[in-house]
Amino acid sequence: MTRTEFSVTVDLVLLTIRQAALQVMLVSRGIPPHQGRWALPGGFVHGDEDLGEAAARELREETGLDPRDGYFEQLATYGRPGRDPRGRVVTVAYLALLPDLPTPVAGSDAAGAAWRPVDEVRGDLAFDHDEILADGIERARSKLEYTPLATAFCPPEFTVADLRAVYETVWRVRLDPRNFHRKVTGADGFVEPAGGTVIRDRGRPAQLYRRGPATSLHPPLMREPTRPPDQRPDGRRTS
Amino acid sequence: MTRTEFSVTVDLVLLTIRQAALQVMLVSRGIPPHQGRWALPGGFVHGDEDLGEAAARELREETGLDPRDGYFEQLATYGRPGRDPRGRVVTVAYLALLPDLPTPVAGSDAAGAAWRPVDEVRGDLAFDHDEILADGIERARSKLEYTPLATAFCPPEFTVADLRAVYETVWRVRLDPRNFHRKVTGADGFVEPAGGTVIRDRGRPAQLYRRGPATSLHPPLMREPTRPPDQRPDGRRTS
DNA sequence: TTGCTTTTCGTCGTTATGACGATAATCCCG
DNA sequence: CGGGATTATCGTCATAACGACGAAAAGCAA
């Protein structure tokens, strides 16, 4: 029973919302393998590091961001033989949900790091990063249902409409502003008033909120309605 | 930048329900480190294996079970330096939910493998397996809320009461049999009638069901009530 | 001022839920 | 064979949550 030796890397699925689109941080690979292609930021785990530490270090090195700026959790681990031509490499992927920070890219490691809309990069990534990205997006989607983590995409103070935009962007749905407002302000500990107002574009000024102390949402916000009411005799709308 | 070399193992959190208790499969370690202590079954990933394949192989080798007997998913990965005195070892933990199979333990690898109630082993496991077990139990608990995976703890045909016992055991709560019956039989695709009846101990015979085609539960079964109704001025019941 | 936009508060009918009553179908014990 | 115990299943009721939508509030532009 020979103990195969592995290299272990961490890869980062950094998600944010910019320009009304879900975007992911990618780096253009400057060296083989997959030179010139886009890939998730990441790197090898050092000899004295825990996995989460390595991921946080890579986050700082490649983007200048801090895990505490948003939300950070382990996503999954990928180790298919042949996933990396350099040898047997297992990668532990981490997922981060980040606000749209002013100076997002100031990396040192990566040649070019950039936020890219997830829709424009699907299928083009190096290694098995397409699969990792897809898993990260799905994780983010379901996290929004049962946790208040949508606030991780927002700056410290935000409006209900900002939060709604997060859900609409990540879930690719359109939500009723009135019902959404009721649910968010009614869910215990989801948000709490910050005590100011702001006008985003037009219309009535909106209250500012901060993220509340809740760590889970009861009741959750559901992606699909609790029950497609089983009726749809015609497709008419009430004009 | 020296690429540290790692060993990679898989560890299995195998959960089942036996004798009305949540139990986990453990092996008594026959060799150092941690000789004589209980540990999660697991082993090194071979050179040509994907991680999931290695976990499935260990499952077969150590317990004779098959992943398809129940439910099987990757749990999380643990790689703290020093977690294994043999060197830098990263372990990918897998979680399996299994029915109470007739011949559960027939391992070849492990000296002694046995189902142990999770309450009796908390805090006594080798390596960081206490933490892994705790994460696995918590994952199982939340999976029961949003997925029909409680059926993975049941044999192919089961009664509503069997399913309720799964929830009561895993969540450590007591559920109202009437409301539970309504929710389970009402949730779309959760269970479907198998067309027989059986008497478990006493009382009226129960209908047999099979697991349905649903992969998620809408609406979910919630551990904590949607809202502790905020009122409790007195404790009287209307009698 | 008149419009337009967005936020925020309410209303209404339907569905889901927890508490619990009632009935059905079996076994046990005399 | 009949009553009691036990469990499964169906129903009822009040309340909470939800989707659809009306309407008022509060700003800007013209």
Nucleotide nearest to B199 (CA to C1'): C26
Whether residues B120 and B231 fall in one domain: no
Which residue's CA lies closest to nucleotide C23 at its C1' atom? B204
Give the integer Cα–Cα distance in Å for B143 and B216. 9
Domain limit, last residue, from B117, B144, B171 = B144
SS3 for A32? coil
Q: What is the pLDDT of residue B90?
A: 98
User: How far is Cα A72 from Cα A4, in angstroms, rounded to an integer?
Assistant: 30
Asked whether residue B139 is domain-assigned, the answer is yes
Residue A160 has, within 13 A of its CA and on its CB side, a CA count of: 20
Name the strand (E) or helix (H) holding B133.
helix B129-146
* Residue B217 included in any domain: yes
d(CA B6, CA A5): 6
Residue B11 contacts residue B40 (beta carbons within 8 Å): yes
Using pLDDT thresholds of 50, 70 and 90, give the confidence band for residue B28. Answer: very high
What confidence score (pLDDT) does residue B30 get? 85
Which residues have C-beta within 8 Å of that of residue B64, sequence separation ≥ 6? B103, B104, B105, B106, B107
pLDDT tens digit sequence for B59-74: 998 888 888 989 999 9
Whether nucleic acid strand C comes within 7 Å of the CB of A227, the answer is yes
pLDDT surpassing 50 at residue B232: no
Q: Judge if A129 and A191 occupy the same domain.
A: no
Residues spanned by the domain of A226:
147-239
Taking the Cβ of residue B44 and every Cβ of chain A, the question of whether any pair is shorter than 8 Å is answered with: yes
Residue B227 has pLDDT above 70, yes or no: no
CA end-to-end span of chain B: 74
Per-residue pLDDT of chain A (239 residues; tens, 9 = 90+): 568 999 999 999 999 999 999 999 999 988 889 899 999 999 999 999 999 999 999 999 888 888 898 999 999 999 999 999 999 999 999 999 999 976 555 544 445 889 999 999 999 999 999 999 999 999 999 999 999 999 999 999 999 999 999 999 999 999 999 999 999 999 999 999 999 999 988 999 999 999 999 999 988 998 876 543 333 333 233 22
> Which residues from A are below 8 Å from B3, CB to CB?
7, 44
Q: Helix crossing, A129-146 with A160-171: angle to 10°?
A: 140
- What span, in angstroms and rounded, lies between the C-alpha atoms of B23 and B63? 14
Integer Cα distance of B146 and B217 in angstroms:
5
**By the 8 A CB rule, do B142 and B150 touch?**
no
Nucleotides of C under 7 A from a protein CB: 4-10, 14-22, 24-28
Is the domain of B21 the same as that of B97?
yes
Handedness of CA A16, A17, A23, A29 (dihedral sign): negative
A197 belongs to a structural domain: yes
Beta-carbon separation of B5 and A1 below 8 A: no
Q: Which of B76, B90, B218 sits opposite A224 (nearest CB)?
A: B218
Do A19 and A133 sit in the same domain of this protein?
yes
Cis peptide preceding B228, ω within 30 of 0? no
B184 shares its domain with B132? no
In this prediction, residue B53 carries a pLDDT of 97
Whole-number distance in Å between A236 CA and D19 C1': 17
Nearest-angstrom CA–CA distance, B192 and B212: 5
**What pLDDT, on the 0 to 100 scale, is given for residue B174?**
96
Express each pLDDT in B160-217 by its tens digit.
999 999 999 999 999 999 999 999 999 999 999 999 999 988 999 999 999 999 999 9
Whole-angstrom distance, CA of residue B89 vs CA of residue B9: 7
Q: How many residues does chain A have?
A: 239
Say how far apart CA A146 and CA B44 lie, in whole Å: 35
- Number of domains observed in the structure of chain B: 2
- Strand partners for B193: B209
Nearest by CB: B47 against A8, A44, A88: A88
Name the average pLDDT for chain B. Answer: 89
B214 vs A: CB within 8 A: no
User: For position B170, which CATH number holds?
Assistant: 1.10.10.10
CA of B31 to C1' of D6 (A): 51
**Residue from the list A5, A77, A218 with its beta carbon closest to the beta carbon of B77:** A77
Examine the pLDDT at B1 and tell me if it is beyond 80: no
**Do A117 and A164 have their domain in common?**
no
Q: Is B220 on the interface with A (CB under 8 A)?
A: yes
Q: Is A200 on the interface with B (CB under 8 A)?
A: no
Which of B129, B144, B159 lies at the terminal end of a domain, its last residue? B144
**Residue B108 counted as domain residue:** yes
Note whether A7 contacts B6, CB cutoff 8 Å: yes
Return the structure tokens found at B105.
């333990």
Between B101 and B98, residue with greater pLDDT: B98
A52 shares its domain with A81: yes
Q: What confidence score (pLDDT) does residue B7 get? A: 97
The answer to whether residue B2 is domain-embedded is: no
Q: Is residue B188 part of a domain?
A: yes
Pair A96, A169 in one domain: no
State pLDDT tens for residues A58-117: 999 888 888 898 999 999 999 999 999 999 999 999 999 999 976 555 544 445 889 999
What distance separates the 2 farthest-apart alpha carbons in chain B? 74
Find the residue closest to D11 using CA and C1' atoms: B178
CB pair distance less than 8 Å for A47 and B79: no
Tell me, yes or no, whether A110 and A19 share the same domain. Answer: yes
A19 with A137, same domain: the answer is yes
Contacts of A45 in chain B (CB under 8 A): 4, 6, 79
For residue B48, give the chain A residue with the closest CA: A81
CA-to-C1' span, B182 to D8 (A): 12
| Helices within A97-234 (DSSP H only) | 118-121, 129-146, 160-171, 177-186
- Ramachandran angles phi, psi of A210, nearest 5°: -115, 160
- Same domain flag for A218 and A130: no
A95 residue type, one letter: L
Give the residues across from B71 on adjacent strands: B97
Q: What pLDDT shows up at residue A18?
A: 94
> What distance in Å separates the CA atoms of residue A201 and residue A184, rounded to the nearest whole number?
21
Nearest to B47 among A4, A46, A49 (CB): A4
Whether A194 and A214 map to the same domain: the answer is yes
Q: What is the pLDDT of residues B118-171, one digit of tens each?
A: 999 999 999 999 999 999 999 999 999 999 999 999 999 999 999 999 999 999
How far apart, in whole angstroms, are the C-alpha atoms of residue A37 and residue A41?
A: 12
**Side-chain half-sphere exposure of A70, counting CA atoms within 13 A:** 27
Check which CATH number belongs to the domain holding A19 and give it.
3.90.79.10
Q: How confident is the model at residue B103 (pLDDT cuts 50, 70, 90)?
A: low
**Residue from the list A2, A47, A76 with its beta carbon closest to the beta carbon of B4:** A47
Token pair belonging to B45: 């990933």
In a domain? residue B134 = yes
Task: Specify if A16 maps to a domain.
Answer: yes
Residues 146-205 of A with CB under 7 A from strand C: 159-161, 177-179, 181-182, 185, 197, 200-205
End residue of a domain, out of A121, A144, A167: A144
| Cβ atoms A58, A94 nearer than 8 A | no
Helix%, strand%, coil% for chain B, nearest 5: 25, 25, 45
Stretch 48-87 of chain B: residues touching chain A, C-beta under 8 Å: 48-51, 74, 76-81
Q: Which of B128, B151, B133 is nearest to B71 (CA)?
A: B151
Q: What is the mean pLDDT of residues B224-232?
A: 44
Identify from A51, A135, A224 which residue to disrupt to test chain B contact, counting B C-beta atoms within 10 A and taking the largest count.
A51
Cis peptide before A85 (omega within 30 of 0): no
